Amino acid sequence: GAGIVPTVTVFSGARPGQAIGSFFAFPQNYRGGLTLAVQDYNNDGKLDILAGTAGGKNPQVRVFNGRTFRQIDSFFASVGGFSGPISLG
């Protein structure tokens, strides 16, 4: 949510409640909140993590490999001059 560090924590589907890793989706000083989604972004058969800014201007999406949590893509989601928060999912 807004006001907290932009940390994404990933939980195991095979072992409910067990965290398998976490990472910062945006710089630690970003406090606008996150919106998240999962999809096979790079067509490798594995789910990847999409994180979008939920506050501020210049809506940005960062895409992370679902296994390594390394960033694999980033883009601004502005369409037609829009400059507000976005919602993924």
Return the domain boundaries, the chain.
7-76
Residue with tokens 């994180």: 51
**Mean local confidence (pLDDT), 63-70:** 96
Alpha-carbon distances, residue 67 vs 17, 40, 42, 78 (angstroms): 18, 11, 12, 28
pTM tops 0.85: yes
Q: Which of 63, 61, 62 is CA-nearest to residue 78?
A: 61
Average confidence score pLDDT of the chain: 90
pLDDT tens track for 43-58 = 999 999 999 998 877 8
